[in-house]
């Protein structure tokens, strides 16, 4: 889904109060806790997280899941260990209503992505 908003706070206010907003907020908190330099903006009508001017993640509430867009998953987690049990595409991780974020290793994956970007490594598609 696309949200015609101009700020992250407006984006959050636009979301229905349901499981998607809860999961999105959890993921948002994990991302923002990684580094005080991470900036949150709106890009492509979704939340966008940047570090040192480079795009790190996009986060969006879809109809049936919450999507975390992260560039190229294989560049961040080559063995797939950090995302085991999650629905993924080349650059997207999908969290459904029944997926308990606290029982995944998504925080480790996000830490790894931030670390690689800080080292100047290419994590984009």
Using 50, 70 and 90 to split pLDDT, how confident is the model at 125? Answer: low
97 to each of 22, 30, 75, 119, 125, how far by Cα in Å?
10, 18, 27, 34, 27
Which H or E run contains 113?
helix 106-118
Q: How do residues 57-115 score in pLDDT, each as one tens digit?
A: 999 999 999 999 999 999 999 999 999 999 999 999 999 999 999 999 999 999 999 99
Q: Which domains does the chain have, with CATH numbers?
A: 8-118 (3.90.1150.200)
- The secondary structure of residue 37, as a DSSP letter, is T
pTM value?
Answer: 0.94
């Amino acid at each position: 889904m696309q949200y015609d908003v101009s700020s992250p706070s407006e984006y959050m206010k636009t979301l229905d109060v349901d499981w998607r907003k809860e999961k999105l907020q959890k993921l948002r908190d994990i991302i923002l806790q990684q580094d005080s330099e991470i900036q949150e903006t709106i890009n492509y009508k979704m939340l966008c997280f940047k570090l040192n001017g480079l795009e790190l993640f996009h986060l969006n509430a879809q109809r049936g899941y919450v999507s975390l867009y992260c560039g190229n998953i294989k560049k961040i987690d080559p063995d797939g260990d950090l995302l085991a049990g999650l629905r993924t595409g080349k650059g997207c991780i999908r969290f459904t209503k029944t997926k308990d974020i606290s029982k995944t290793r998504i925080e480790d994956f996000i830490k790894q992505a931030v670390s690689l970007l800080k080292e100047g490594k290419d994590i984009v598609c």
